[in-house]
A and B are shown apart, each in its own frame.
Chain A
Amino acid sequence: MTPLITVDAILVRRPCGDLAGDAQLTTDRSPSVNPGDEELVASARQGNRRAFEELVERHKRRAYHIAFDFTRDREEAKDLSQEAFLKAFTNLKNFDGRSSFYTWFYRILVNLCLDYKRRQKRGPASAFDETIENQMEPSHEPVKPRSPDQQVWARQISHRVGEALEALPARQRTAFVLKNHQGLSIKEIAALMDTAEGTVKVHLHRAVTTLRERLAEFA
């Protein structure tokens, strides 16, 4: 039987911290004491909860932001991202390591987000909610507009952007959100969406074309 590897043991064994395949991940900890995701997964598979919690700590913010890009609602985004972690936790034994944990986990999350959008479509038509918009700050505006005119203008842009994004077909929106908001590469998006890179490029191009037409007045 393989001996149980604790997170602490990994930290001692891997002083150089090679984050193979996860170089883009941002963590609060110094990379010099970070074990790779795969090592944490191996440890979590043997029942080490602390290792799994370390994975959560590592991925929770990005997972939340991806879910938020789909839902535009804090509570929904929280629930969806937590559900993704739960699914990963309960199915960890089925993770065969053919792809990285990063790809496997975010694929679970993206599928949950797509399911959420499908459920939303089947349910009562949801008008774009301005109260949700008010929770958020447009990232391109580090300083809040001061004059009332500017505030109205910013709100109008925000509203129109929200509507335009809502109108995109689910897979176009997924490709766009993962590229534009999360900055993933085409290859990574293709892996998460379980599709070809060419298909991702087409989805992205169509999404950009639609958004450009809908937001023409702000160009």
Chain B
Amino acid sequence: MTEPMRTLVSPCGELEENLVLFHYGDLDGAERGALQGHLHSCTACAGYLKELDTLLPLTLKADQPPETFWTDYNRELRQKLDRAAEKKSWLQSLGEFFWPRWMPALATAGVVALALTLTIGRGIWSTNDSQDDAAIMELLPVAENLEFFKTMDVLDNLDLLESMGSQSNAA
């Protein structure tokens, strides 16, 4: 069964936020004084505050677990902290193992590896360069023949000029 809906009080709109803060005692000095003065004369705002006083405590729930709950809580948390501490110390010792003694050696090894990679890489690139050179060498004879083809083009043009000349003479 549904309860009939109760009509809510409408406070002065611009003061609503301050009324909420006033309810919780979070409104400071001047604003608080002004609102208190307003409440004497405004029944709507006073009614709104009364509603908050009635409704908001309904939302409070106090869960009071028994003492055994807290005993278990402490025991469980202590176990979890132990595990976390173990994990932490394991990670710390791992870090200590690597950092002071091995880190400089690892860093040196890294630099050497990088240098070697670059050197070998250059070798690979140079091999690529020689392949490119071979391809160019193959193309060179063709490039030399280009001169011949260019000459052929000139001859074609001469033929064309001659034919144009003979045509104009005939005309």
| A→B interface (CB under 8 Å) | 49, 52-53, 56, 60, 64-65, 68-69, 72, 74, 77-78, 82, 85-86, 89-90, 135-140, 157-158, 161, 164-165, 176, 179-181, 185-186, 201-202, 204-205, 208-209, 211-213, 215-219
User: Is B166 interfacial (CB 8 A cutoff)?
Assistant: no
Q: List, sorted by A's number, 19 A–B pairs whose CB atoms are closer than 8 Å.
A: A53-B78, A60-B70, A60-B73, A64-B65, A72-B61, A74-B63, A77-B63, A82-B77, A90-B88, A140-B57, A140-B58, A180-B59, A180-B60, A181-B59, A204-B21, A211-B56, A215-B58, A215-B59, A217-B4
Q: In the bound complex, how far is the Cα of B60 from the Cα of A219, in angstroms? A: 15
Q: Are B21 and A186 in contact (CB under 8 A)?
A: yes
B122 touches A (CB below 8 Å): no
Closest residue on chain B to residue A176 by CB atoms: B59
Of the listed stretches B79-87, B103-111, B136-144, B154-162, name the one at the interface; the rest are far from the partner chain. B79-87
Distance in angstroms between the alpha carbons of A64 and B24 in the assembled complex: 23
Q: Which residue of B lies closest to A179 (CB)?
A: B24
The answer to whether A208 touches B58 (Cβ under 8 A) is no
Distance of A39 from chain B, by nearest CB (Å): 20
Whole-angstrom distance from the CB of B69 to the nearest CB of chain A? 7
B81 pairs with A139, CB closer than 8 A: no
Q: How far, in whole Å, are A199 and B61 apart by their CA atoms in the complex?
A: 25
Stretch of B35-43, B47-55, B123-131 on the interface side:
B47-55
B5 touches A216 (CB 8 A): yes
Least Cβ–Cβ distance between A62 and chain B, in angstroms: 13
Residue B64 lies at the interface, judged by CB distance under 8 Å to chain A? yes
In the bound complex, residues from chain A placing their C-beta under 8 Å from that of B84 are: 86, 89-90
Q: With A138-B61, A139-B61, A212-B8 as known contacts, state yes or no: A78 contacts B21, CB within 8 Å.
A: no
Nearest CB of A to B54, in Å: 6
Check A157/B58 contact, CB under 8 A, given A86-B80, A209-B16, A212-B52: yes
Q: How far is the CA of A180 from the CA of B61 in the complex (A)?
A: 10
Contact A186-B26, Cβ < 8 Å, known A74-B65, A82-B76: yes
- Give bound CA distance, A165 to B38, whole Å: 31
**How many chain B residues touch the partner (CB < 8 A)?**
38
* Cβ contacts under 8 Å, A217 to chain B: 3-6
Name the A residues within 8 Å of B51 (CB-CB).
212, 219
Shortest CB-to-CB span from B56 to chain A, Å, is 6
Nearest A residue (CB) for B54: A219
**Chain A facing B: main interface SS:** helix
Contact partners of A205 in chain B: CB under 8 A: 16-17, 20
**Shortest beta-carbon contacts, A-B, top 4:** A139-B62, A217-B3, A205-B17, A140-B57
A74 engages B59 (CB within 8 Å): no
Most chain A CB within a 10 A radius of its CB, from B16, B58, B61, B65: B61
Beyond A180-B56, A213-B8, whether A137 also contacts B73 by CB under 8 A is no
4 extra interface residue pairs, beta carbon distance < 8 Å, beyond A56-B74, A204-B20, A205-B20: A60-B74, A78-B73, A208-B56, A211-B56
- Residues from chain B with a CB closer than 8 A to the CB of A72 are 61
Cβ-closest chain B residue relative to A164 = B59
* Set B6, B63, B77: member contacting A135, Cβ < 8 A: B63
Q: Is the CB of A211 within 8 A of B21?
A: no
Q: Please name the residue on chain B nearest to A78 by beta carbon.
A: B73
Q: Which residues of A contact B59 (CB under 8 A)?
A: 161, 164-165, 176, 180-181, 211, 215
Instruction: Determine the chain A residues whose CB is within 8 A of the CB of B80 once the complex forms.
Output: 82, 86
